[in-house]
Amino acid sequence: MNDTSKYLTKQVRDLFADPGEIVLVTHVNPDGDAIGTMLGFYWLLKKKGYPVNMIVPNEIPFFLEWLPGYHQIVISEINHDKATALIRNAELLICLDFNESDRLGDLEEEFLKAGATKILIDHHPDPGDFTDHIISFTALGSAAELVYYLAIELGMRELIDKTVAECLFTGIMTDTGCFSFSSSQPETYLVVADLLKTGIDKDRIYMQVYDNYSADRMRLLGYSLNDKMVVLPEYRTAYISLTEKELQKYNHVTGDTEGFVNILFSIKGIRLTALFIEKKDHIKISFRSRGDFHINKFSERHFNGGGHKNAAGGESNLSLEQTIDKFVKLLPGYAKELLSG
């Protein structure tokens, strides 16, 4: 092991010499990067011979189910007692792909109470101060790419086999929208090249993630675009909203609305997109932007959310109509930013 690590500090590297019980956690509504990163790291640590477990706060989208180790992940929403016990017994708690403790959902309290040494491994801007160590690299397009670099610095290069590579590739692919954004750094492709050398079938991975939907989901997409899409050319904005009832009508399952918010950029000139989903007790919002419009700051200020410069989540406790009304009324205040460039 060298001492010229770019991504790891010596203290964190030392923690991995003899870590004891490791528990990996990721954020609510986990996406391809959250799960790919978690599983990639899980297999690395397991192959190294370390005791390791994984927890997510809530349901994982079905299109990630084929990933190796998927069924080893403890879902707190379903098995809260087990998740709690794992957190209590952990010696090393590792947070992957998120930057604030409230992203842990119903695990937050238990996590903050836990006596374990805590490490944050992430690529979102402005990481909160809730762990003992922070490994945060916001220039990276995915947490999976960061875990690849950490593996190298931890001397685990030879442990990156096909299983690990499938997981990390999935994280990089999904968080860069198949290399369409957040993937301008040449290094990302070197990582991908190295992962491909393990013999993974990237076309199969693509199909399993993106070409795996039900006919109902396609009909929901058609309905959303035809009946529910609102375009506001004067603010270069487009959005879709869906009620619980509408989702039920199309037999919605977690992951079905994945990608809806990005499709809206196919419209010429659009700079800001949003998807409003009615949940039992709140409205879940996905925001996307193009160019220099910092959607994470917008969401943080108005919708209790956060994320990346061009992709962020948010939520609202108002009704669906009130939430949309609030959103639309905010746009004139941002007209200058939305219309410039």
- Enumerate binding residues for Mn ion (CB under 5 A): 33, 97, 143, 175
Between CA 54 and CA 41 the distance in angstroms is 10
Tell which residue, 56, 55, 57, has the closest CA to residue 105.
57
SS3 content of the chain, % helix, strand, coil (to 5): 45, 15, 35
Question: 110 or 145, CB closer to Mn ion?
Answer: 145
Tell which residue, 185, 141, 154, 131, has the closest CA to residue 36.
141
Question: 166 or 175, CB closer to Mn ion?
Answer: 175
The distance of closest approach from Cβ of residue 123 to Mn ion in the complex, given in angstroms and rounded to an integer, is: 6
Question: 146 or 164, CB closer to Mn ion?
Answer: 146
Residue closest to Mn ion, measured at CB: 33
The distance of closest approach from Cβ of residue 34 to Mn ion in the complex, given in angstroms and rounded to an integer, is: 6
Between CA 149 and CA 157 the distance in angstroms is 9
The distance of closest approach from Cβ of residue 258 to Mn ion in the complex, given in angstroms and rounded to an integer, is: 14
Phi, psi of 67 (to 5 degrees): -65, 135
Q: SS3 letters for 248-300?
A: HHCCCCCCCCCCHHHHHHHCCCCCEEEEEEECCCCEEEEEEECCCCCHHHHHH
Between CA 120 and CA 193 the distance in angstroms is 26
The distance of closest approach from Cβ of residue 84 to Mn ion in the complex, given in angstroms and rounded to an integer, is: 25
Cα angle 170, 269, 288 (rounded to 5 degrees) comes to 40
The distance of closest approach from Cβ of residue 164 to Mn ion in the complex, given in angstroms and rounded to an integer, is: 17
The distance of closest approach from Cβ of residue 171 to Mn ion in the complex, given in angstroms and rounded to an integer, is: 7
The distance of closest approach from Cβ of residue 33 to Mn ion in the complex, given in angstroms and rounded to an integer, is: 3
* Token couple for 152: 């190298």
Between CA 23 and CA 260 the distance in angstroms is 33
Question: 209 or 324, CB closer to Mn ion?
Answer: 209
Question: 41 or 235, CB closer to Mn ion?
Answer: 41
Question: 97 or 110, CB closer to Mn ion?
Answer: 97
Between CA 40 and CA 42 the distance in angstroms is 5
Question: 100 or 175, CB closer to Mn ion?
Answer: 175
